[in-house]
Amino acid sequence: MAAKTDDSGPVLPPAIESAWGLRDRPPKGPRPQMSVPTIVDAAVRVADADGLAAVSMSRVAKELGAATMALYRYVGSKDELLMLMVDTGYGPPPGPPPAEADWRAGLTRWAWADHEVLRRRPWLLHVPISGPPITPQQLGWMEDGLRCLDDTTLAEGEKTSVLLLITGYIRNEASLTAQIIEGSRAAGIEPGEMMPAYSRMVARLIDPSRFPALHRVLAAGVLDQDDDPDDEFTFGLDRILDGIEALIRRRAA
Amino acid sequence: MAAKTDDSGPVLPPAIESAWGLRDRPPKGPRPQMSVPTIVDAAVRVADADGLAAVSMSRVAKELGAATMALYRYVGSKDELLMLMVDTGYGPPPGPPPAEADWRAGLTRWAWADHEVLRRRPWLLHVPISGPPITPQQLGWMEDGLRCLDDTTLAEGEKTSVLLLITGYIRNEASLTAQIIEGSRAAGIEPGEMMPAYSRMVARLIDPSRFPALHRVLAAGVLDQDDDPDDEFTFGLDRILDGIEALIRRRAA
DNA sequence: CTAGTTCTGCGTATGGTCTACGCATTACAG
DNA sequence: CTGTAATGCGTAGACCATACGCAGAACTAG
């Protein structure tokens, strides 16, 4: 009758609570034949093999030899499953920065670890993010990133903003390169031929007098040479770190 | 029998070609009762009113008083419709930078224009981007952005990278603030109460000794005060522009 | 004026999605 | 042994995109 009020407003889904180890199995009833981690692992396996679009409740159930609806005893909804997939998909964070590393070296290492995860599991990019991180490993990644800034004189709010800036960049860059790979596979051409083909198409569409800057970019052949995607990533990351460095220097002075 | 080969590899969908004005109506057959722009406008109207999730082919058809399948005479697939929705959803680009503006002022103006569009139409963030821009207004935005860098000594490739960096940031920032708004609406609480509630939840979950840096951020109350989202946006944008400024200075020297 | 051609509108049907609900079965507490 | 509660899961409902085929409209060629 009385509303069951928890301490704080938004309620954590049961499956997430169990990911934090906050849930004990009630003693009654038949023994569960699956577990949340089993299901999440199966879903991750499907996503690794056939992409996020292949992850349907029935497909995951088939992977486990169970019935579709059986899964709903463990996860409250597909969205909840996706959240847990992200958590285990990222895997453990890279650990705190080495003692001898300055903030820039530390963040660079952290950024490359994040980058590597997204390169290995591009489906992570297709999971619609529905809120700030609340799963254990997600927060672990955040923690390790924040630690890189421990020795700086930035305010706590600035540290989080900085980290947000970097994660956003990494995600974005990964998204773009993943799109090129997926797009080329869909079009049935070599990944290296994707951007040149795009370049030709745009060149055919635009009027050079109305799009002079764009035309100059195309004429320079920027999109035709397939440079190392890692160089592209490094370029943007260094720009951002330069910007942060300027801020840190100003704060230190 | 012989494959109808166009000049270049990837074929532009018919509806996109018509957006470039490259398509003339065949003289035969009954007069079309709708047009691609009519349909796209209706779809945008639905998205503006009820979000992207409400945009289904049948819902758009209902909006037009037509049958669902009638739409497929105009657009090849829902994905194509989405692409066109993004094009008209963005609207016309902000125009080339004022003559007296330096690159930084120009890009700042451009960034705020982009930001403003995404604030007004958050559903744009939910459209899965499936490739580089190919629609007229998208490329128009790119053009106007590139022009801001006309007077710099950056290489063409660097200009595109710089623009990519900025668009990525804007999109990311907009995504985050939109999530807070949508999340608070879903949870039925004030938008200003979202982050404090999140803060309390995380504080309850984490062990301060395993998450010291994160704990310090929470203890500082970073997430509790609801600062102006515009300040947050400005902060990140300035960091990025600082980084670009460092590059430009190095290139000019 | 007529015949042929081609395009439009759209009804029907297929195969997919998530998930609410209810029932039989199982396993433990007392 | 009985009551209770949790599990596995079958059924069914409400959506979704879209392949296909057909009736009719509007033009062109003769």
B122 and B236 part of one domain = yes
By C-alpha distance, the chain B residue nearest A179 is B131
**Interchain CB contacts (distance < 8 Å): A and B:** 196
Query: What CATH number should be reported for the domain holding residue A193?
Result: 1.10.357.10
Domain annotation covers residue A149:
yes
The Å distance, CA of B109 to C1' of C16, is 46
- Number of structural domains, chain B? 2
Domain annotation covers residue B7:
no
Domain annotation covers residue B3:
no
Cα within 13 Å of Cα(B175), Cβ side: 22
Q: Is B222 on the interface with A (CB under 8 A)?
A: yes
Domain annotation covers residue B178:
yes
**Is the predicted pLDDT of residue A60 greater than 90, yes or no?**
yes
Distance CA B42, CA B47 (A): 9
Percent of chain B with pLDDT over 90: 82
B137 and B197 part of one domain = yes
Helix A136-147 and helix A78-90, axial crossing angle in degrees, nearest 10: 40
The secondary element (H helix, E strand) that includes residue B158 is: helix B156-187
Q: What is the pLDDT of residues B42-63, one digit of tens each?
A: 999 999 999 999 999 999 999 9
Confidence band for A10, pLDDT divided at 50, 70 and 90: low
B119 and B206 part of one domain = yes
The distance of B193 to chain A (nearest Cα, Å) reads: 9
B143 and B211 part of one domain = yes
Question: What residues contact B238, with CB distance under 8 A and at least 6 apart?
Answer: A243
pLDDT computed for residue A130 by the predictor: 87
B72 and B142 part of one domain = no
**Is the predicted pLDDT of residue A3 greater than 70, yes or no?**
no
pLDDT computed for residue A5 by the predictor: 38
Domain annotation covers residue A225:
yes
Q: What average pLDDT does this structure show over A144-153?
A: 97
Distance CA B77, CA B85 (A): 13
- Pick from B128, B217, B242: CB nearest A243: B242
> Last residue of a domain, which of B33, B57, B90?
B90
> Last residue of a domain, which of A47, A67, A90?
A90
B22 and B119 part of one domain = no
What is the domain range of residue B246? 103-252
Query: What CATH number should be reported for the domain holding residue A24?
Result: 1.10.10.60
CB atoms A164 and B176 under 8 Å: yes
**Is the predicted pLDDT of residue B221 greater than 60, yes or no?**
yes
Identify residue A178 by its one-letter amino acid code.
A
Question: What residues contact B162, with CB distance under 8 A and at least 6 apart?
Answer: A239, B149, B154, B244, B247
Domain annotation covers residue B95:
no
Percent of chain A with pLDDT over 90: 83
ipTM for the predicted complex comes to 0.92
Domain annotation covers residue B203:
yes
